[in-house]
Chains A and B, each alone.
Chain A
């Protein structure tokens, strides 16, 4: 269907320089250059290192995306870019690049919200998103529950983490256990050989009183501290730390809270579609637990494949394509990169 919009998406909100090309909801290219290896030795993403890497990677990643998609810049209908939220300096490289590509190619520009892009990417795998839907976005930087009334413009925040992001908890616990950064994949692997009910770690913000004020919010810092105390106690007695059991029990606690709250949100709002995205959505236990629990309530779960869950340009292109199809007006060339862009701003189109 060549009458569907051909859209280029640029993502630079953190450490991945991502450029994707989609036509409608068909993924044509998903080129990603990551500076993660440069950050690993610091135990977290260093903003200036990430920003420098985005500049270095931009033209090459663009070349790769266009070549893979077999299109020229002059063929695209629009250029979409993550305008926020994210790391300010990193975002700015992508926004400036997107403006330049749009200006040079004479194409409309769409400055879009990174979180909505995490939702939109699922359309590339599972087709148009039924609306309304509940979206749970969990990553190294976000842990949010969103009510998506209309992916083209009406997204309401239901809850978010009040301290650490879910992925951050994975990183910190991995460090405690001597596992490499980033911590998600090694914990997932270690947990396969462990007993998830061997240690009863706390489930943050799930007590009766928490549910009044923080029903859809998350907290993972208490869990991280509990894991640290447990490991320290073990080390004091000179006993070996059962890495697999700690990993499995920690992961079980995170996934329990996430899936419980996501399904509670669906039931409370009477929504029967739950979308899970962000890097933590690649976690095998989370995928299994959410799917199983949702089935009990007749809720349909949509989780994109792991490569699409992490930050990439395809998700930005997917949202851009949705906005073009919905006839949302484009952004002007003077839009800012907004590191604190609110969830409710799906695109910077109508704001200026």
Chain B
């Protein structure tokens, strides 16, 4: 079955096209752009690109898998709304996977800490034993993360290596597309009902109303 995977929970904008069958997951094409401000611009072209590179059409897709975060909100939503809308248009199911799992499962055996950059001097983190999540996901200041691991992966781990005080492995740095799809493979092959993709924000919204700005057309207030 042809499956599209997308993840925008980190600075990496990831689209992957994979064939999923009883033998496993075979990556056909993937596109990764690292740019924390370009999720909205890059994702759709990347999806089009992986389809073209694999010589497949969008109509052949059987499912869409999306990383549900945690991640900075604005970028995270791009992946989720893209997956939701594409799947709705195609009439195929969507499956959600915790984005940190697509790092943890890719990090190999042993006790591993996954930490991604949550901005505001915090990290999103989770702990894994042999690729299976045992704690998290959560958001915390690096100094407050209970490390308890042999090594750490993720861009947040690299950024706060000194505070975390654990061996940092440079790769994987961002959620791995084919691994993301693999984590949904069981559900895909079982024909499990699709899931509504719920973002893992882990933080409440700042509730400051939009500042009135004469130049902005749609700020606080009404009537519009």
Which residues of A does B touch, CB under 8 Å? Answer: 13-14, 16, 36, 39, 42-49, 51-52, 54-55, 58-59, 62-63, 73, 85-90, 92-93, 95-101, 103-106, 114-115, 139-143, 160-165, 167-168, 170-171, 181-185, 278-280, 282-283, 309-311, 332-337, 339-340
Contact = CB atoms under 8 A, between A and B. Distances in A.
Contacts of B34: none
B219 interface: yes
Main secondary structure of the interface of B (DSSP, over half): helix
Contacts of B86: 100-101, 103-104
Cβ-closest 9 pairs across A and B: A279-B223, A182-B222, A44-B220, A44-B209, A140-B221, A14-B218, A48-B205, A104-B89, A100-B85
Contact of B224 (A51, A89, A105, A139): A139
Nearest to B47: A103
A241 B107 CA distance: 68
Contacts of B81: 54-55, 58, 93, 96-97, 100
22 contacts: A14-B219, A43-B220, A46-B207, A48-B73, A52-B199, A52-B205, A92-B77, A93-B78, A100-B44, A100-B47, A100-B81, A103-B44, A103-B86, A104-B58, A106-B58, A139-B217, A140-B221, A141-B216, A167-B221, A171-B222, A181-B221, A279-B222
A59 B84 contact: yes
Contacts of B41: 334-336
Contact of A184 (B82, B206, B220, B222): B222
B212 interface: yes
B216 A51 contact: no
B74 A86 contact: no
B77 A55 contact: yes
A92 B8 CA distance: 13
A185 B221 CA distance: 12
Given A92-B74, A100-B81, A85 B223 contact: no
A311 B224 contact: yes
Contacts of A282: 223
Contacts of B131: none
Contacts of B215: 85, 160, 340
A44 B218 contact: no
Nearest to B208: A46
Contacts of B88: 59, 62-63, 101
B209 A55 contact: no
A86 B219 CA distance: 7
Contacts of A165: 212, 214, 219, 221
Nearest to B82: A100
B89 A101 contact: yes
Contact of B217 (A16, A85, A98): A85
A45 B217 contact: no
Contacts of B1: none
Given A42-B207, A55-B81, A106-B58, A182 B223 contact: yes
A310 B224 contact: yes
A49 B40 contact: no
Contacts of A45: 209-210, 218-221
B224 A279 contact: yes
A85 B222 CA distance: 16
A100 B222 contact: no
B40 A86 contact: no
A30 B199 CA distance: 27
Contacts of A46: 205-210
A96 B85 CA distance: 9
Nearest to A161: B214
